[in-house]
Amino acid sequence: METTLKSAPVWIVQEGPGVPNVTELGNSTGASLRGTPSPVTRVTPGAGPREYRIPNLARACQVLRLFASSGDYLSSSSVARQLKMPRTTVLRILHTLAAEKFLQRRGFDFTASLELRTGLRSIADTALCAAAVPVLNEISQLTGETACLALLAGDKVAVVETCDIPYASRAGSGFGASMDLHCSAFGKVFLAMGPRAHLGTVLAGAPLQARTPRTLTTAEALAAECSRIARQGYALDNEEYDEGVRCLAAPVWGSGGVLAAAIGVSASAATFTEQRAADVAPLVLQAAKKLTATVAQRTSS
């Protein structure tokens, strides 16, 4: 008995990116689609991980980083100004973080808990050190001297990264060294450009310890020195910490304009003269600017 086959209906699928043309599928897949077609999922070219970014959560992370870098109580207006965020947004974030015990509240001001500040600061410092390595290598190559990165460590400053080239003089304190704030270039950067509370505490302890005959020991001399550093943008240790060693350092800024670190060079005073220090200062300032930009880029990404 002869059987007549009727042609199956052809379903036309609206084409979109990533969906093959039905007429081009070839004989191996059949000339038509039977039944009701499945929904077509469109694929958007160039879709990346930023699609999954939650803006307010990202803002909350910026707020936490700011508090991790600051030991002060901050108002919502101050946070909004430093992070360039709407004050109403900042206010909601602050109250939420306080309710979740990430921040402590005193009146209208907020601060981070010690545990939170320590944890986040440790993460930030690790990332900063990693970002600093190529910058330190570059400044060492340019100057022929030992380049260092230092962080604030309580009432002192600690060298956390160093880089030098074979013929560098290797003068001064090396990796892991802990130095006084009032007589080291790195320490004076933090006194002159960091929170005023640090400078006030140090000045209140005058007369200060004299490590060398050049050490500034009076409150008046150190205050004047810090004013000069703030104006010129870098600090010079003119044989004040170790005799025969001269060091120059500049600030590295973190999220929200918070002072994150100091970067500089250290060398023998015999070759690193005051005139040469003045010539090297623009190179150190440029290195500090480059590291600041790298830190800002990693924070916002």
**103-118: average pLDDT:** 84
Q: What is the mean pLDDT of the chain?
A: 82
Cβ–Cβ < 8 Å for 173, 179: yes
Judge whether 40 lies within some domain.
Answer: no
Pairwise CA distance, residues 251 & 262, whole Å: 5
- pLDDT tens figures, 153-198: 888 999 999 998 765 555 655 556 789 999 999 999 999 999 888 8
Does 6 fall in a domain? no
- pLDDT above 70 for 24: no
Do 140 and 194 sit in the same domain of this protein? yes
Neighbours of 108 (CB within 10 A): 11
How confident is the model at residue 174, as a pLDDT? 57
Residue 137 lies in a domain: yes
Strand order in the sheet with 109-112: 74-75, 109-112, 103-106
Is 12 part of a structural domain of the chain? no
Residue 267's domain comprises 122-300
pLDDT score of 25:
40
pTM for the model stands at: 0.63
Domain boundary among 74, 89, 112: 112
CATH number at residue 70: 1.10.10.10
pLDDT at 299: 63
Same domain membership, residue 150 and residue 263 = yes
Do 136 and 96 fall into the same domain? no
Asked if 65 and 137 sit in the same domain, the reply is: no
First to last CA, the chain: 73
9's enclosing H/E stretch is none
Question: Bigger pLDDT: 42 or 277?
Answer: 277
Determine the number of helices (DSSP H) and then strands (DSSP E) in the chain: 8, 9
Q: Is the pLDDT of residue 16 over 60?
A: no
Confidence (pLDDT) at 53: 85
- Please check the confidence at residue 89 and state whether its pLDDT lies above 70: yes
pLDDT at residue 264 above 90?
yes
